[in-house]
Amino acid sequence: MTIFYLGILFNGCILYAILHFAKKKFSINSNFIIFFISYSVITIFLFNLFYGTKFPDSNWLLYYADKFRDLNFSTESNSFSIFFGANLLSIPPFIIVNDPSTAAFVSKFFLLMIFFYLKFNKLITNNLFVLSLFLPSLAIYSSFFLRETLILFICFVFLNEAIKKKIIIPILFLIILFFLRELQSFIFILIIFIYFFSPRNKLKIFSVYFFGILIAIIFSHHYFKILNYEIEVMHLEDGEVIFNQFNKFDLFFLSKFFEGMIRSLTVIKPIEITSLKGIIYLLEATILNLILFYLVVQNIKIKNYKIINIVVFYLIICGFYGLIISNSSTLHRYKLSTTLPIILLAFNQTYQIKKNNVWRIRNN
């Protein structure tokens, strides 16, 4: 117990030192520093008290991070993504001592790195960041020794740097993302592809959608093999032996696809609606969906079809997430690191286009 309190104290001091040295660079005051440290300590203590056994991968990450710090680079793990993630999480200078609570400061560190990166690129304000900390998902996943804030940081950096047409940084972060969460790396490649190659003409857009659906139907027997494999793997990992298998593009597949999309957008199963966790997940998902809907409406008004096409792709991804992932917590973790970067991208694109339109009107 003494080691636990010393670990909390030491890691809290490191967090304070990081914030203090970043004070001038990122225009943060003492109130912000006190709030973030208090927020970190309180959420880590509370969530580890009530949810300490909810994330088994946290124990594996701790195990391999501890080995890495002892310079033991054995690759005995069955999951390379866990092993690779543990190695990355062991780098920040926090005491881990094989304890989930003290090690959780590493997740807070990457949450802080997200803020520093977004603030440096003028993509977020101090108040907006503080407001985002009250998202239940960020509060929970940053309170454990997990990969979530690291993956979220990588997704933000990759998406923003790729949009700025940089080469080295996006490629580097994409490779890291591939080893951490392979599926998500392909999703973000496609998001960037849609961003740069979206047609601006409505007829061309509908033509792309039409031929895209047609090609998907014709070659469905190829990707159904991959889909069935992913469904089997994810369901068996969650201890479920009964799951759907798909052989053709028919009404049964479409009904399950749209059912999966709805479950992915709400992040819960119908039987979970009465639980506290289910209500919190549903409330957060509803807020994020409303924000995304508002941004889509704004982009329709300004005819920014890039964002509209990305959101359509996002809905398709939600459908596949809902089909493949059975466990609601796993689904929530996958979806979070896709949703937040897309929302930030849509928000900043909308703001920039409106700002440029106002400037043109004033100068004409």
pLDDT digits (tens, 9 = 90+) for 295-345: 999 998 888 888 999 999 999 999 988 888 887 778 888 888 899 999 999
- Across all residues in the chain, what is the average pLDDT? 83
pLDDT in tens, 84-100: 888 888 888 887 666 66
Nearest to 339 by CA among 130, 135, 176, 161: 135
Q: pLDDT by residue (tens digit) across 253-296?
A: 888 889 889 988 887 776 666 677 778 888 888 899 999 999 99
pLDDT surpasses 90 at 149: yes
Angle, vertex CA 278, rays to CA 62 and CA 334, nearest 5: 50
Helix (H) or strand (E) holding 157: helix 148-163
For 83, residues 6+ apart whose C-beta sits below 8 A from its C-beta are: 64, 75, 77
Residues 6 or more apart whose Cβ sits within 8 Å of residue 203: none
Share of the chain above pLDDT 70, in %: 88
Contact 229, 235 (CB under 8 A): no
pLDDT of residue 226: 79
Q: The tokens of 132 are what?
A: 């985002």
Which tokens belong to 2? 């003494």
| Mean pLDDT of the region 145-166 | 93
Model pLDDT, residue 4: 63
The conformation of residue 270, written as its DSSP 8-state character, comes to G
Please report the pLDDT score of residue 310 as a whole number.
92
3 state DSSP class of 364: coil
Angle at 324 between CA 188 and CA 233, to 5 degrees: 105
**Considering the chain, what percentage of its residues have pLDDT values greater than 90?**
25
Which amino acid, residue 243?
Answer: F
Q: Which of 214, 187, 136 lies closest to 342, judged by CA?
A: 187
